[in-house]
Amino acid sequence: MLKSFRIAALSALAILAPAGLAAAQDLDNLTAAELLPLAQKEGKVTVFSLSSRIAKVEKAFEDAYPGIDMVGIDMSSVKQIARVVAEQGAGVHAVDVLYIADTPVVYDELVTPKRVHAYIPPRVAGELAAEYKTPLLTQRLSTKVLMYNEAANPDGAPVKNLWQLTTPDWTGRVLMVDPLQRGELLDLLVEISLHPDDMAKAYEAQFGKPITLESDVQGAGEQFIRDLFKNDLILVPNSDVLNKAVGDKTAKNPPVGFGTYSDRRDNQKEGWALQVANDVTPANGILFPAVLAVVDKTPNPAAARLLVDFMMGDNSPTGGPAFEPFNVPGDYPVRPSIKSHADSVPLDKLKAWRIDPVKTAAARKRIADLIVTLQ
């Protein structure tokens, strides 16, 4: 009786003031079972997603919760940020959930001005490390790392040191999605710039002498970025172009590229031979959080929270149908109860730097300005 009264009261509250602080705080404390009748009354939930795999989540969610129409829209993090800022500036509140990366910008442009809010489902709150609960909920860890063609290189990656990519052997044979259009790639270059000592040591290991910096760069990481662009770095419009060029099984002398490790999941379907170059000095790229956020003044506050809860996966080792699209080689769950894919390089052995969103945000403009001069 008490629970029924609680749900009825919250349902009325959601109708009267779905964006109010009190309503949000009450909804945050409800279980999925308690959210369900409220979400079914709302009838819909819209999510912008950094991954096209949201289509699989959409089907699983609608199967699990009949009566709620889930609309999943594949959209890059950069576009999500711009869309939310523009819509809210115009007084439009149409999207409920963001599934997004590019956290240095997200924290600055969406979290600080309260355009989005964290929601931590009660059933997983006690399981997650503190770093995965603030300022937003981390759903998994993803990557931008050096990828190569394992069919053309059966003995392992042809690159062992990042500085090799600046040599004549690799002129015009390194690919990257344009970092000024894809925030995670800009974060990758920023992270390289934030490790000047590691990059200097790697330079000496590769060339047998200390690095000499040009007068207008700040550290060996920035020198690497400049040298990489000068060596005819190829910028491509999207990851599909990169993956086909790097991973094509029929290629005799394929390039390498900074891409997404988890794209390896499509090797069989697409005829690719993508593999991560893990044994690279000083690192092969970055590891970064993919986060979930409830958008301010969401039109469907209960359904938004139900979807966030669902996307954290069930209690099975794979995370069930909600998480299985992301339980692939190269993606890493943050819930200890969900096991990483058996074909993944173990997380503690992946030679990628974890980004610090605060430090990355502070250095972003300088590196973006540097890239503009190099393109």
Residue 31 confidence (pLDDT): 95
| Residues 24-63 pLDDT 10s | 658 999 999 999 999 999 999 999 999 999 999 999 999 9
CATH architecture under which domain 2-141+289-345 falls: 3-Layer(aba) Sandwich (3.40)
Beta-strand ranges (E) seen in the chain are 44-49, 69-74, 97-100, 116-117, 137-149, 174-177, 234-236, 256-259, 274-276, 285-295, 332-333, 353-354
Inter-residue contact 70 to 310 (CB < 8 Å): no
Assess whether pLDDT exceeds 70 at residue 23.
no
Spatial separation of the C-alpha atoms in residues 157 and 153, rounded to whole Å: 6
| Angstrom distance (rounded) from CA 132 to CA 116 | 16
Q: Evaluate the omega torsion of the peptide bond into residue 135 and state whether it is cis, within 30 degrees of 0.
A: yes
Residues 351 and 119: their CA atoms lie apart, in Å, by 31
- Residue 22 clears pLDDT 50, i.e. is over it: no
Contact 84, 295 (CB under 8 A): yes
Report, as an integer, the average pLDDT of 221-250. 97
Question: 283: Cβ–Cβ under 8 A, 6 or more apart, which residues?
Answer: 162, 195, 198, 351, 352, 353
Query: Region 345-351: what's the mean pLDDT?
Result: 95
The upper half-sphere exposure of residue 142, i.e. CA atoms within 13 Å in the direction of its Cβ, equals 23
Query: CATH 3.40.190.10: which residues of the chain?
Result: 2-141+289-345, 142-287+351-374
Read off the pTM: 0.87
- CATH class as words, domain 142-287+351-374: alpha beta
Tell me how far apart the alpha carbons of residues 131 and 266 are, in angstroms, rounded to a whole number: 30
Q: Which amino acid is at 187?
A: D
The pLDDT tens digits of the residues spanning 109-154 come to: 999 999 999 999 999 999 999 999 999 999 999 999 999 999 999 9
pLDDT of residue 304: 98
Average pLDDT rounded to a whole number, residues 5-10: 43
Q: Mean of the per-residue pLDDT values for the chain?
A: 92
pLDDT at position 24 is 60
pLDDT digits (tens, 9 = 90+) for 313-340: 999 999 999 999 999 999 999 999 999 9
The pLDDT score that the predictor gives to residue 26 is 87
Distance CA 88, CA 205 (A): 51
Residue with tokens 């309260």: 114
